[in-house]
Structures are given as structure tokens and as C-alpha cells.
Amino acid sequence: MEYSGQYDSLSSALADCFGTAAQITNRSRVSGGDINDAWCLSMSDGSRLFLKTNSRRNISFFRTEWNGLQAMREIGAVKVPMLYAAGTDVDQSFLLMEWIENGRPSRQYMENLGRALAHMHMAESPGDGRYGFSEDNYIGATVQHNAWDFSWINFFREQRLEPQIQMAAAWFDRNQSRKFIYLMDHLDHWLTEPDKPSLLHGDLWGGNVMAGPDGEAVLIDPAVYVGHSEADLAMTQLFGGFTQDFYRAYDEECPIDSTYSERRDLYNLYHMLNHLNLFGGGYLGSVIQILNQYV
């Protein structure tokens, strides 16, 4: 299902998706991250829906989220929320999707998630062997550049690290700036070209995984692109929350290279730079620590 942002009101979207009898009986705010407002809509038939809203000019947040979730859904390996409608309504934009009832994780929750992610990474990805995505999207509130490239190393240099380093340049002293130049010029000393491109969630930390009503993992809030599968794995280790059962099961389905740990922090430098650019100097130490590991 391609992105459909033609709705000019939430009421018309509800009528089109659920019939003219569908009415909202209650609208309550729920936690939904720092970027969008999030709501639980209680409907007249007893069902519930999840609604995200933002300013009208920020409809691109929802267009890109829709396309990212849909790309993962088409592969079919991981669970993602059902998408219903998106559009604009008076002074806001909106994204309407399935309400995921929080469940208790099953006994094999992490193991099943590891296998599902491995299967997504091993599946045929869009892009005809290239790295990137069909459009730029967002990593948090930052534009994430996704111009197609046949080289993973070149893509990671030009579309991931370079924009973030340029935005963060004022934080670095002269010596640190020189180190960044060296790192970028010698990125192929550490990074490797994968055997095949993989579709990635792109923002795979614990807060973007939830247990659904059946106790199995549902992935939300993606920053999807085609890249090296190791980049997704690296982010699962950035803030913790993923158990050894997850990595064991992933490795059984899609063997993790024995030298992956040598590259892990370099992948996460992208996310630490983004946190520095979004949230300020509290992340500077982490950025410099990673930089000093490699230069």
C-alpha cells in the first residue's frame, strides 16, 4: 500500500477507512516521543486507534514514516503496526495507524525478535543492490540523507557521517577536527562492504520495540534505509535492552562476522553525533571517546 496523504481531514480519513458510522468517543494523550503528539482514539464500536499529529508543514515526518513501515511490512519478517491514513487537517498533519495493546513479552520474545530481524536483513532489499532509500527521511528530528550509492563505505561516509560532522563542527577543537578529517579519509580501514545490502530499521533501540498483545515484538518509529546489517545490530547495543538470546538467535540465522565488534562503535558514532546535534554537549564526551578509538 503506497503512501496516501490526500486526506484533508481526520474525519474523512476515518469515514473512508472505517465507514461513515465510525465516530471518536474519546481522545486521550499518550507518550509518543519528543517530535510528535500522540493520541489514543476510542471509537464508537469499542475499538481503539493510534494517532500522531504534528504541524501542517511537517507532513513529511508522517510520509516518510509510512513509507519506512511499509517497506518493512512488504518483506514480512518483522511485525509493524497496520497503517490506515495520513494527511492534513486544518493546522495539523496526522498519521493514523493500528493501536498496539501492550502485552507481556513471551518467553521467547528476544529470541523470536532476533530471528525476525535476521530474516529481514537477509531478504531481498529495495534499491537493486544499492545503499540508501527512495527518499530522505528522519533520524529523530534530523533529516537523514539517503541518496543511492553502490558502495556502503561511501554511503556511510557521505550520507551518514559527513552531514552530522558538519552540523557539529563548532563543538570540536582543531585537533579533533583533524582527527575527523583523517577518519573520513581512511574509513575503509575499518568498514567493510557487506555481502549484500539489507533493509534496516535504522533507529533500533529498545524504545522502538514493544511487546504486542500476543507477547511478540512489534517495531515502531523507524528511520528505514538499505545498509549494512551490522549498523542495526550496533544500535541495539548502544543503549542496551537486548539480551544474549536476541544475539544468539540472530547469529544462528544470519552469522555475525567475528570482526563486527571492531566496527560497532564507528556505526554508533553516527547516532552519537546526531544526539550531540539534537540535544547538546552532554553527548560530546561520547563522540570524542569513539573518535579516539579509531584515530
Torsion angle in degrees (nearest 10) through CA of 35, 139, 250, 287? -110
Residue 203 catalytic? yes
Q: Which candidate in 16, 185, 188, 203 is catalytic?
A: 203
Q: Is 150 helix (H, G, I), strand (E, B) or coil?
A: coil
Reported as type and span, the H/E element at residue 139 is strand 137-139
Residue 123 grid cell: 531478504
Residue 46 grid cell: 469499542
CA distance 138 to 56: 17
286, 269 contact by CB (below 8 A): no
Q: Is 29 helix (H, G, I), strand (E, B) or coil?
A: strand
Pairing state of beta strands 198-200 and 225-227? antiparallel
Handedness of CA 59, 6, 27, 64 (dihedral sign): negative
CA distance 290 to 272: 9
25, 47 contact by CB (below 8 A): no
Pairing state of beta strands 37-43 and 24-30? antiparallel
Cite the active site residues: 203
